Chain A
Amino acid sequence: MSRQRLTLVAAAILLILLGTLGLDALLPVLGGRASLALPDVAQNFVTVFLGIFIEAAPFLLLGALASGLITVFVTADDIARLMPRNRLAATLIGALLGIIFPVCECGVIPVVRRLCQKGFPLSAGIAFLLAAPVINPIVLASTYAAFGAGPVFWARIALTLVIAIAIGLIFSLQPGLARVMRPLSLPPLAGGTPTVGVPPAASRPGPATALQRAVAVAADEFFDVAPYLIGGSLIATALQTFVPQQALIGIGSGAASSVVAMLALAFVLSVCSTVDAFLALNFVNTFTSGAIIAFLVFGPMIDVKSTLMLLGVFRRRVVAYLIALTFAFALLAGLAINLNIAW
């Protein structure tokens, strides 16, 4: 065993030991319970911020890993071969891809970016981006657990699919990736061919090296997106800490105002789609059914946290379109439900 490898193994063992053994003994030394005891507001801020990060980071990591694996193991040829040429069919597949590729709104962004770089049609990528956080087994199960197989459950699925496909198709009119994604997110030959610099099959490395490369790409991916996740979490935490929720709840019973209020709440709270159904349950008595459904459709597509993450990948104008379109569709859907079904 080489010296470097030995150092590596020693570092690994040290890390695991530190993690699993006497770290709480070390903590008072590191933190000094008294020295860093913060005032209540700051302490609550830290708790909520870390709560959002600890909940979201694993999903982002899994998304980054998926993206790393795609980089190394999936070629642009594979995608060209598997995706139908027909625009509508491709968009439909994009919207349903979450069923076999379960990612939430934190994990989906690196995956979409990587898929699009590999030549995945943009319309399908956008449909996947918007639909996958809802149309996946985990979120469907939690929605079912909270609401049963009733109107809310089916409306959430149907509206998410319709909105994701519609917006995906709108984006299919866009000619080139360069007008949609930020330059840094584009392959070296920006705006041109989607051939990405994966070594040709002949020189492909062995599985261990390939896996290592995938993890290295995943780490880069994490650093590309995590600052936006963390910035978004900070904003969401600040809004939670300083804007009283009663301000929104007060308008819960109007057919239109309740929908707008719940959309605003979904945007501000930035709760992961895997559990937002349980949160929505809290509002069933206070808010109109259109507002609840709009919350469940819009929240997973767009919120403070994901907006910042989108800004890291897409051009600013595109993010603005995405937000405006999803907001408009969700608002319309909520209004339609309130005016027809609730009465």
Chain B
Amino acid sequence: MPSRRTTWVKAMLLAALALMFAVKINSGTLTYYINQRFAWLALVAVLLFAAMALTAAYRLMTRTTVESPLGAAHGRVSALGIGLVALPALLGLLVPARPLGASAVAGRDLSLGAPARAGAVAVNPRGGGSRTIIDWLIEMGRNPDPSALNGQSADVVGFVYRDARLAADQLYVARFTLSCCVADAAPVALLVQSSDAAALKNDAWIRVTGRFAAGAAGGTPAPVLVAERIDAVEPPAQPYLLP
């Protein structure tokens, strides 16, 4: 049977975890971590963590013995176990929330730089509204000819990313796509050409309007969005694209 002290520690950790989930939901930063279609599950977590914390506290205060069906050893937790459970609560409460950005692209180069392949990312192309980076990549996937989109106008939002292939007047406007949580995040991007490119910092959120033309990235022919206008924008509330 766990000692009263262990039970108090457990109750406080459970409350801290309930708090961490509540903070993420309340501050709108839950979407930095998981696809919003799972947001209701985070609410379930708040309720269950809170219920467990309150039950433990109630039992401690009423001195109800928690006789375990598994015998005396059950219910004990090692210091390492306590530390591990405290970790997400502490990191979630203390480290400022930030979505994945340019610095995370490098390690997971799945569909960046080969826009034609990224067509497979999207499950359903959206109808209506302005086209996102994914929608344009799907278009490119349908027709690999780099001049297929010539003259079409685009208006997309993303963060600035660069790699070694780009010329000084080029950058990528990039987003991460998400199916489930950031563990499966994959970057997608459009190649942008602009005389102002050099002035824009990596990770800065921008809105690019312009028209496509046939161009090249590091010698490989690719459609390029020739920017007519680039505005700095606030990071969107939903930083990822949800295919």
- Verify A236–B92 contact, CB threshold 8 A: no
Q: In the complex, what distance in Å separates the CA atom of A23 from the CA atom of B10?
A: 23
- Say yes or no for B169: interface residue by CB 8 A criterion: no
A51 to B100, CA, bound (A): 11
> Are B93 and A30 neighbours in the complex by a CB distance under 8 Å?
yes
State A165–B53 Cα separation when bound (angstroms). 38
Given A11-B57, A44-B100, are A230 and B2 neighbors across the interface (CB < 8 Å)? no
Q: Which residues of B contact A48 (CB under 8 A)?
A: 100, 182-183, 185
Given A54, A185, A275, A285, which contacts B30 in the complex, CB threshold below 8 Å? A54
13 of the cross-chain contacts (CB-CB < 8 Å) are: A38-B95, A44-B100, A47-B100, A47-B104, A57-B17, A61-B49, A197-B68, A216-B56, A218-B52, A227-B78, A244-B107, A271-B181, A282-B110
Counting contact residues on chain B (CB < 8 A from A), the size range is 35 or more
A15–B14 CA distance with the chains assembled, in angstroms: 12
Q: Write the residues of chain B forming the contact surface with A, with a CB cutoff of 8 angstroms.
A: 2, 10, 14-15, 17-19, 21-27, 30, 32-35, 38, 41-42, 44-46, 48-59, 61-62, 66-71, 73-75, 77-78, 80-81, 84-85, 87-88, 91-100, 103-104, 106-111, 117, 119-121, 123, 179-186, 243
A62 on the interface (CB 8 Å rule)? yes
Q: A49-B91, A54-B24, A281-B123 are in contact. Are A220 and B104 (CB under 8 A)?
A: no
Residues of A within 8 A of B (CB): 4, 7-8, 11-12, 15-16, 18-21, 23-24, 27, 30-31, 33, 36-38, 40-41, 43-44, 46-55, 57-59, 61-62, 65, 71, 117, 145-146, 183-188, 196-198, 212, 215-220, 222-224, 226-227, 230-231, 234, 236-237, 240-246, 249, 269-272, 274-276, 278-279, 281-286
Bound-state Cα–Cα, A215 to B56, Å = 9
Q: Tell which of B19, B75, B91, B243 touches A50, judged by Cβ atoms closer than 8 Å.
A: B91
A9 to chain B, nearest CB (A): 10
Cα separation A55 to B30 with both chains bound (whole Å): 10
In the bound complex, what is the Cα–Cα distance between A146 and B94 (angstroms)? 37
What is the bound-complex CA distance between A234 and B92, given in angstroms?
A: 14
Q: How far is the CA of A223 from the CA of B85 in the complex (A)?
A: 8
CA distance in complex: A258, B85 (Å): 36
Contact B180 A31 (CB under 8 A): no
Which of B17, B23, B74, B109 interacts with A184 by CB under 8 Å?
A: B74
